[in-house]
Amino acid sequence: MSTRTLRMKKHALHRKLNEQARAKKAGAYLRWFHTRDMPGSGTKTRLVCEKAAADELHLMSDAEHAAFLEAWWRDDVLTIFDQYALDREKTQRAALSVNVDHPRYDGRSESAVLSTDLVLNVRRGSTYIREANSVKSARSNASETLTRMQLIERRMWENEGAIYRLVTANGMHANRSKNLAWIFRAHNDTVGRQLSDFELIARREILRFFRRRKDVRVVDACRYVDHTFELASGTAVQAFRQLAGAKYLAFSLNVPDPIQLSFSEIWRPKRNA
């Protein structure tokens, strides 16, 4: 929780609490903070995702963006909640149990509403669990010690029978994060629509190159497919990204440039074998 959130005005707090109550009564989910609530506070990302509980996600930093992409990529994650508001009575009890003072709004005696960056609904076999992720930047001077609010947050989730994780991410600087974002954008574009004939042709031909296991670079194969089938430039690369997003093809996410890989360095994920 930032200093800015502790300065929330009374009318804004009451409005948000009423909105939360109405959403809960309607059986809907409503995030506590929106990107518009944090102007000028770092790099924020707002995106649509099929796994998002509220259809889209509001990510307040590049570290949250990277943590979201890791959650999206996991097959066991079914639903992702962002900026999840915590029940104040539960966090107050948690604060007492860990012997720390509960945060209060500036200049007031009213306890602050705490929130968790990302909460995941996870399926493990026939069991469903919740995983609460508190995200912080992995800067060299960042401490792994939990803050007072994170101690409260952890205890509250543990009392709920959920898993609490402190997630550190180096923004979107790592190759893995960049590659996941590259794949996500292409896959996300296919959700809820039929693929075009050109996309289907490109996907079919890329898979044909893969099955032949030829020692040819992906970029060269994509150029060949675009030229041979008179596709718009970049169609085959987009198809390659879509296939990776659908997990028909896989490669090391730590490489600096996936399309420079040879098809001999690409494999089929076990779930699609």
Query: Whose CA is closest to 238, among 185, 174, 181?
Result: 185
Q: Both 185 and 160 in a single domain? A: no
Report d(CA 115, CA 154) in Å as an integer: 11
Which of 136, 169, 202 is where one domain is finished? 169
CATH of the domain at 264: 1.10.10.10
Beta strand ranges found along the chain (DSSP E): 45-48, 56-59, 77-85, 115-124, 127-137, 163-169
Sign of CA dihedral 131, 132, 137, 140: negative
pLDDT-derived band at 170 (thresholds 50, 70, 90) equals confident
Phi-psi region of 136 (alpha: psi -120 to 50; beta: other; left: phi over 0): beta
Query: Whose CA is closest to 156, among 202, 102, 210?
Result: 102
Report d(CA 181, CA 12) in Å as an integer: 34
- SS3 assignment, position 194: coil
CB atoms within 10 A of CB 191: 10
Domain tally for the chain? 2
Residue 50: both structure tokens together: 């099929």
Q: Both 154 and 179 in a single domain? A: no
CATH of the domain at 119: 3.40.1350.10
Q: Both 140 and 197 in a single domain? A: no
C-alpha pair distances (Å), 5 with each of 30, 112, 220? 17, 9, 51
Which of 145, 169, 193 is where one domain is finished? 169
Q: Both 219 and 99 in a single domain? A: no
Span 75-110, pLDDT tens digits: 999 999 999 999 999 999 999 999 999 999 987 888
Q: Both 124 and 246 in a single domain? A: no
Q: Both 94 and 114 in a single domain? A: yes
Q: Which domain holds residue 258?
A: 175-272
Q: Both 27 and 142 in a single domain? A: yes
Q: How many residues are listed for the chain in this entry?
A: 273
Residue 140's pLDDT is what?
45
Q: What is the average per-residue pLDDT within 190-195?
A: 95
Q: Both 9 and 101 in a single domain? A: yes
Q: Both 181 and 165 in a single domain? A: no
Q: Both 157 and 192 in a single domain? A: no
Q: Both 29 and 138 in a single domain? A: yes
Span 121-139, pLDDT tens digits: 999 999 999 999 999 877 6
C-alpha pair distances (Å), 11 with each of 15, 64, 109, 115? 6, 28, 15, 19
Q: Both 121 and 165 in a single domain? A: yes
CB 54 within 8 A of CB 115: no
Which of 169, 192, 224 is where one domain is finished? 169
